[in-house]
Amino acid sequence: MAEEAAHDLMAEGESDNTRLAYRAAMRYWAAWFGARYGRQMSLPVPVPVVVQFIVDHAERSTKAGLEHQLPPAIDEALVEAGFKGKLGAPALNTLMHRISVLSMAHHLSKQANPCVDPAVKALLSKTRKAYAKRNALPHKQRALTKEPLEAVLETCNDSLKGKRDRALLLFAWASGGRRRSEVSEAVFENLHRGDEGAYLYTLASSKTNHNGKIRPEDVKPVVGSAAVALEAWLKASGIASGPLFRRILKNGKLGTDGLSGTAVRDIVKARCALAGVGDDFSAHSLRSGFVTEAGRQNMPLQETMAMTGHRSTDTVAGYFRAGAAQVSEVARMMDLGKQSSNKA
């Protein structure tokens, strides 16, 4: 049932990463339901079941400390079967994602949606507020801004792997903070020479362009050090068609297969660990890092959005403002006053 629901859930053309995430969420729902109720789950899921799912997975404050409702035996069974990574309550983001996946499953199958029931919506709202009061904010991967990225790039030597990773990191960051699916699906045929050593890359498919229509905003510049790194990688690898970034085999030779989204993530995490900049970066850190750095350098928001492909300012503004806040003159009014006095 979970496999069929996941198949129906995801429309043709969605990224592999999105499909995997939705499939995993639906598998978890089916496994939890079977363990909780002793029978197979089917749509529509009753409202009380969704309420039970929330209280099973959301932590709440008690006299004994933080607790959740999931019985230990079921928790252990889900971990042993591989549906959970570890015992205990998941992150709030994970819980909310699984609710949204179930909601979409009901919407696409045209079933009565329990996730929009007033009781469920009220419980989710109170749950978010409870986490906020405990300062248990949703975890966000750190933004890989210019300074830590430069340290990461220093780990990329002149080996074939080093050249690939350097080109990949700079391509993803400098062309507007590309998503890992956009990096893993990049192909040589969409890369074109620009002027003065620059490249232009056309995003034929992205999260905001499922139809493959070529629009002016889908042409991204790869210039400066990013273009130099890409040129070095293409020359060393000999790639003239097909996937732009590929696996490197154990014997050091170039593979024919393109990297997966998971491999892109692993490259970012491995290079960050090697550089010693921290272990809380991911592939998305390249995207958030580009936007945050743009804010730090007071780049125009609309120009930044044109590079990233964001259509809503609500999504991008958080990272952008966080970067801008670090160089805010308003935030430094006290210090600016002292500097003026010292000069006098």
pLDDT single digits (tens) 199-251: 999 988 655 555 556 677 889 999 999 999 999 999 999 999 999 999 999 88
On whether the CB atoms of residues 254 and 243 are closer than 8 A, the answer is: no
Q: What pLDDT score was predicted for residue 61?
A: 87
- Tokens at residue 238, please? 């000999």
Query: Which of 133, 156, 175 represents a domain boundary (last residue)?
Result: 133
- Classify residue 314: in a domain, yes or no: yes
Claim to verify: residue 193 and residue 66 sit in the same structural domain: no
Residue-wise pLDDT tens digits, 97-151: 999 999 999 998 889 999 999 999 999 999 999 988 887 766 667 889 999 999 9
Going by C-alpha positions, the residue among 195, 194, 196, 152 that lies closest to residue 172 is 152
How many domains does the chain fold into?
2
Q: What is the mean pLDDT of residues 172-199?
A: 92
- Higher local confidence (pLDDT), 187 or 195: 187
Claim to verify: residue 22 and residue 69 sit in the same structural domain: yes
Claim to verify: residue 166 and residue 314 sit in the same structural domain: yes
On whether the CB atoms of residues 3 and 20 are closer than 8 A, the answer is: no
Claim to verify: residue 90 and residue 162 sit in the same structural domain: no
Residue-wise pLDDT tens digits, 32-82: 999 999 999 999 999 999 999 999 999 998 888 889 999 999 999 999 999
On whether the CB atoms of residues 273 and 282 are closer than 8 A, the answer is: no
21: domain range?
2-133
Please give the Cα distance from 204 to 212 (Å, whole number).
5
Q: Is the pLDDT of residue 172 over 90?
A: yes
Q: Confidence band (pLDDT; 50, 70, 90) for 12? A: very low
Q: Confidence band (pLDDT; 50, 70, 90) for 270? A: very high
Claim to verify: residue 158 and residue 129 sit in the same structural domain: no
Claim to verify: residue 243 and residue 290 sit in the same structural domain: yes
- Higher local confidence (pLDDT), 5 or 66: 66
Please give the Cα distance from 284 to 279 (Å, whole number).
13
Claim to verify: residue 127 and residue 162 sit in the same structural domain: no
Domain with residue 252: its CATH number is 1.10.443.10
